[in-house]
């Protein structure tokens, strides 16, 4: 098998609670090729951020492998990890709380450069020049170099976050809801910037979001998560053209288009959300699924390649057989 | 429980369709701070009929929430000052009433779903009791009857009734928001103001909540003022749209007017900023520059510094309200030139 830029195998992260373990990420597999973007979507609490942090080993996975250019980062020692960290960065959702309010733009962007001793024997001027260069790359005006985060708007603060990530010349960036807190016009500026940087620097992204039109715009492949599991994964256009998993169908049908009469009746979900604490070994979506069949409680459905490059985890959908479409009488419906 | 039972469990009759239940005229609200004055709302006027819904859209700081607070007569003072204007809710002059009279109207005639759910929840009272309290405000019933209604309302917003005895902090942000919505709906108000009610919710739950609001509107003739910056929500929910920029309504009309015959350059900019779900390859066109600083608004059009069509006339004086049809209003000086048009968006 040819090697992928990133390959994640059977990744798990459980959090201990008094009542049991939260299965935040529960056996996730995927690959990303260099220069591509994997979009990760799913509802609040399904494990998107936990996945992103585990992949960078910002938190320790409970189990599984993360092969970054062929090396399992879960097996690296502290020093090896520190070296690799420079290549792997994260951009957070909240540009307000992720920046130290007492530091200026200069200090904030210089910090990772100094900490990682990126420029050997750097003078003050060397560092300032590098900061100015980064400010230009992300589009922050030079005159703002001595301002503090609270004096800037959300879009500029997010640009600082991006400049900090870029300061280490990364190859791989996890973008965790990078535009969710921003107004649409600033959101568009940041999305354009991230796309431009990807093109120019050949960056590889994991792009976490709950905004489906953003993820479609941004990703090559999309992975849909539900309570720690991947329920569907496909190239973006294919997923939007032919969503198969009942949860993906509901998710896509809930998108509201900014168009007059653009929003016909949607699939409504009912029922209770399964608790992520030691969930039973069955389909985690079953309680809310509009198509309930006997198989739903027969163990966790495996993620299968149902059509070329299109993976689905549903007991009713197998390669060459889609019970939801072909044998609706087997399904009780709700 | 289905949405059908929502309306069954409502008490009281539906309002008449088509009467004005909310009239805002020439509203001006400032926040007077030590060093500067924030001109948050600058001469806003609109009306809303029962059974209709108006979407109030615009970016952060445009003055949407302040407008809503002024309608409820809840602008925090200090620093907020309602400089001028009138607000009429179902025949009541909101800005002239005494606190005790206002308390009666809030909840019965008009209620508001706040942007931040925790501001309207009491942290030391169970969610069931909080909903029951609001039921008792306008209904003559025992506490246990009110509590039964509260459990019903919780289930309507997709929360198991058994959780009525829990406290707000035991709920996730999205669940807290649904409790706030349940409280607002339990009152069965004639005018409902919803300030970004679904921003914190997942799309599938958003669909559920919006469904409930539509139900209320069609069956109970509730008038809905929907504050949002999500143009998709507006397209789904609203009959009319008002676009706000720097405290002023810059374009207003029916949904068709504003979405299909967009006239204001700012509205055009909002649409151009959105990723198109059916076309992955178009580059996004953000509006250049920053939101106007409401402490230093320019003499002329507030949007002019960011507007690619702006002329000297735009910068020189304040644009006037211009009706281009019975329903469609645009506030843009460039239209003084009869040949002017925006490039249009796809
Ligand atoms: N440090 C932690 N300790 C305990 N539980 C945690 C921790 N971090 C996350 N969780 C739990 O793990 C699950 C997944 O959380 P995560 O933050 O990854 O979700 P998410 O998909 O990013 O959600 P959102 O869209 O709200 O950001 C949740 O049930 C959450 O409560
Ligand atoms: N209590 C306050 N004191 C001082 N300024 C305030 C106060 N509340 C709001 N403002 C200012 O008034 C202006 C309008 O704010 P408002 O909250 O009405 O905007 P909005 O359109 O609701 O924005 P958002 O989309 O962020 O909710 C902003 O510049 C804001 O900073
Ligand atoms: Mg997250
Ligand atoms: Mg607001």
Which of the four pLDDT bands, split at 50, 70 and 90, describes residue A225?
very high
Domain co-membership, B141 together with B282: no
CA A266 – CA B218 distance, rounded (Å): 18
- Whole-number mean pLDDT of chain B? 89
Which residues lie closer than 8 Å to B72 by C-beta, 6 or more apart? B94, B106, B110, B112, B193
Show contacts of B34-38: CB within 8 Å, 24+ apart: B36/B295, B37/B295, B38/B79, B38/B294, B38/B295
Residue A18 CB–ligand 1 contact under 6 Å:
no
B341 within domain boundaries: no
CATH value at residue B128: 3.40.50.300
Q: How far apart are the first and last CA of chain A?
A: 44
Last residue of a domain, one of B238, B263, B292: B238
Record: contact A184-B273, CB cut-off 8 A = yes
Residue A48 CB–ligand 1 contact under 6 Å:
yes
B343 within domain boundaries: no
CA of B171 to the centre of ligand 1 (A): 14
Q: What is the mean pLDDT of residues B222-239?
A: 94
| Percentage of the residues of chain B whose pLDDT score is greater than 90 | 63
Domain co-membership, B226 together with B254: no
Which atom number of ligand 2 is nearest to the Cα of residue B62?
21
Residue B17, min C-alpha distance to chain A (Å) = 23
Which of the four pLDDT bands, split at 50, 70 and 90, describes residue B7?
very low
Nearest CA owner, ligand 1 atom 27: A44
Q: What is the mean pLDDT of residues A196-218?
A: 92
**Residue B267: Cβ within 10 Å count:** 25
Per DSSP, helices labelled H in A86-138 are 105-115, 124-138
Which of the four pLDDT bands, split at 50, 70 and 90, describes residue B106?
confident
Which of the four pLDDT bands, split at 50, 70 and 90, describes residue A41?
very high
Residue A45 CB–ligand 1 contact under 6 Å:
yes
CA of B199 to the centre of ligand 3 (A): 15
Residue B168 CB–ligand 2 contact under 6 Å:
no
Domain co-membership, B175 together with B85: yes
Domain co-membership, B46 together with B96: yes
B344 within domain boundaries: no
Residue B12 lies in domain = 3-238
Q: A6-224 has which CATH code?
A: 3.40.50.300
Residue B63 CB–ligand 2 contact under 6 Å:
yes
**Single pTM value for the model:** 0.88
Domain co-membership, B172 together with B222: yes
Are the C-beta atoms of residues B31 and B48 closer than 8 Å to each other?
no
Q: Which of residues 258-317 of B touch A (CB under 8 A)?
A: 259-260, 269-277, 280, 283-287, 290-291
pLDDT at B1 over 50: no
Nearest CA owner, ligand 2 atom 24: B60
Domain co-membership, B161 together with B22: yes
CA of B31 to the centre of ligand 1 (A): 38
Record: contact A268-B207, CB cut-off 8 A = yes
Per-domain boundaries in chain A: 6-224, 243-326
Which atom number of ligand 2 is nearest to the Cα of residue B69?
18
Domain co-membership, B229 together with B313: no
Sheet (strand A6-17) strand order:
A20-32, A6-17, A63-68, A71-72
- Which tokens belong to B152? 């019903």
Residue B120, min C-alpha distance to chain A (Å) = 22
CA A248 – CA A240 distance, rounded (Å): 9
Q: Does a cis peptide bond (omega within 30 degrees of 0) precede residue B79?
A: yes
Quick: pLDDT tens for A231-240: 999 999 999 9
Domain co-membership, B207 together with B290: no
CA of A46 to the centre of ligand 1 (A): 7
Domain co-membership, B224 together with B252: no
Last residue of a domain, one of B179, B212, B238: B238
Which atom number of ligand 2 is nearest to the Cα of residue B64?
21
Are the C-beta atoms of residues A62 and A228 closer than 8 Å to each other?
no
Q: Does B346 touch chain A (CB under 8 A)?
A: no
Residue bearing tokens 């600083």: B293
Are the C-beta atoms of residues B58 and B64 closer than 8 Å to each other?
yes
Domain co-membership, B52 together with B165: yes
What's the pLDDT at A292?
A: 75
Quick: pLDDT tens for B17-36: 678 999 999 999 999 999 99
Residue A137 CB–ligand 1 contact under 6 Å:
no
Backbone φ and ψ for B244, nearest 5 degrees, come out as -105, 140
- Considering only A28-37, A325-334, B182-191, B302-311, which range has the smallest mean pLDDT? A325-334
Residue B115, min C-alpha distance to chain A (Å) = 14
Q: What is the mean pLDDT of residues A187-194?
A: 90
Domain co-membership, B35 together with B175: yes
B342 within domain boundaries: no
What's the pLDDT at B6?
A: 46
Residue A5 CB–ligand 1 contact under 6 Å:
no
Which residues lie closer than 8 Å to B187 by C-beta, 6 or more apart? B107, B108, B111, B134, B135, B137, B138
Domain co-membership, B7 together with B122: yes
Quick: pLDDT tens for A253-268: 988 999 998 888 778 7
* Domains identified in chain B, total number: 2
Nearest CA owner, ligand 1 atom 9: A50
pLDDT at B199 over 80: no
**Residue A251: Cβ within 10 Å count:** 26
Q: Does a cis peptide bond (omega within 30 degrees of 0) precede residue B175?
A: no
Which atom number of ligand 2 is nearest to the Cα of residue B58?
21
Residue A193, min C-alpha distance to chain B (Å) = 10
Nearest CB to B270; choose among A184, A214, A216: A184
Nearest CA owner, ligand 1 atom 24: A44
Are the C-beta atoms of residues A25 and A42 closer than 8 Å to each other?
no
Q: What is the mean pLDDT of residues A167-195?
A: 90
- Which tokens belong to B119? 């501001």
CA of A90 to the centre of ligand 1 (A): 17
């Amino acid at each position: 098998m040819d090697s992928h830029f990133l390959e994640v195998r059977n990744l798990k992260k459980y959090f201990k609670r008094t009542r049991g373990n939260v299965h935040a990420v529960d056996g996730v597999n995927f690959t990303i090729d260099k220069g591509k973007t994997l979009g990760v979507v799913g509802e609040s609490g399904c494990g998107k951020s936990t996945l992103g942090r585990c992949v960078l080993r910002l938190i320790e996975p409970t189990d599984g492998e993360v092969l970054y250019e062929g090396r399992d980062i879960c097996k690296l020692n502290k020093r090896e990890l520190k070296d690799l960290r420079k290549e792997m960065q994260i951009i957070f959702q909240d540009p307000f709380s992720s920046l130290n309010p007492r530091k200026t733009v200069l200090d904030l962007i210089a910090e990772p450069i100094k900490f990682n001793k990126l420029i050997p024997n750097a003078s003050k001027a060397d560092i300032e020049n590098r900061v100015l260069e980064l400010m230009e790359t992300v589009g922050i005006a030079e005159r703002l170099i001595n301002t503090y985060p609270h004096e800037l708007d959300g879009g500029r603060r997010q640009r600082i976050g991006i400049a900090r990530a870029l300061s280490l010349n990364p190859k791989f960036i996890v973008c965790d809801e990078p535009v969710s807190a921003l107004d649409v016009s600033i959101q568009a500026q940041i999305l354009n910037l991230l796309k431009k940087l990807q093109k120019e620097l050949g960056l590889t992204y994991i792009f976490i979001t709950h905004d489906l039109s953003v993820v479609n715009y941004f990703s090559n492949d999309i992975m849909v998560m539900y309570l720690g599991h991947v329920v569907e994964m496909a190239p973006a256009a294919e997923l939007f053209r032919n969503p198969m998993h009942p949860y993906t169908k509901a998710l896509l049908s809930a998108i509201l288009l900014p168009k007059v009469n653009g929003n016909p009746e949607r699939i409504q979900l009912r029922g209770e959300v399964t608790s992520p604490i030691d969930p039973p070994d069955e389909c985690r979506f079953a309680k809310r699924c509009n198509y309930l069949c006997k198989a739903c409680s027969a163990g966790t459905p495996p993620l299968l390649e149902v059509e070329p490059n299109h993976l689905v985890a549903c007991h009713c959908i197998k390669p060459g057989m889609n019970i939801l479409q072909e044998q609706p009488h087997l399904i009780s419906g709700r | 429980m289905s949405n059908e039972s929502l309306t069954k469990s409502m008490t009281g009759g539906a309002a008449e369709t088509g009467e004005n239940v909310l009239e805002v005229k020439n509203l001006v609200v400032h926040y007077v701070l030590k060093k500067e004055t924030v001109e948050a709302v600058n001469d806003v006027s609109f009306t809303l009929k029962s059974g209709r819904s108006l979407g109030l859209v615009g970016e952060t700081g445009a003055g949407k929430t302040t407008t809503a607070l002024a309608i409820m007569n809840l602008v925090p003072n200090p620093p907020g000052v309602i400089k001028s204007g009138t607000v009429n809710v179902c025949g009541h002059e909101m800005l002239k009433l005494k606190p005790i009279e206002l308390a009666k109207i809030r909840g019965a005639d008009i209620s508001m779903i706040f942007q931040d759910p925790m501001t309207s929840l009491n942290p030391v009272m169970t969610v069931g009791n909080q909903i029951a309290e609001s039921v008792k405000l306008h209904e003559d019933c025992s506490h246990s009857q009110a509590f039964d209604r509260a459990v019903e309302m919780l289930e309507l917003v997709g929360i198991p009734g058994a959780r009525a005895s829990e406290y707000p902090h035991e709920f996730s942000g999205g669940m807290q928001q649904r409790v706030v919505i349940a409280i607002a709906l339990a009152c069965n108000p004639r005018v409902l103001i919803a300030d970004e009610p679904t921003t914190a919710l997942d799309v599938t739950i958003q669909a559920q909540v919006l469904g409930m609001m539509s139900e209320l509107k069609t069956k109970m003739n509730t008038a809905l003022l929907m504050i949002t910056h999500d143009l998709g929500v507006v397209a789904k929910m609203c009959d009319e749209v008002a676009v706000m920029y720097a405290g002023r309504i810059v374009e207003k009309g029916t949904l068709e007017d504003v979405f299909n015959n967009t006239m204001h350059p700012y509205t055009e900019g909002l649409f151009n900023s959105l990723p198109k779900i059916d076309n992955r390859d178009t580059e996004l066109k953000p509006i250049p520059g920053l939101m106007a600083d409401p402490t230093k608004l320019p003499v002329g059009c507030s949007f002019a510094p960011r507007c690619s069509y702006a002329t000297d006339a735009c910068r020189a004086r304040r644009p006037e309200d211009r009706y281009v049809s019975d329903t469609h209003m645009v506030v843009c000086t460039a239209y003084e030139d009869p040949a002017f048009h925006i490039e249009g968006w796809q």
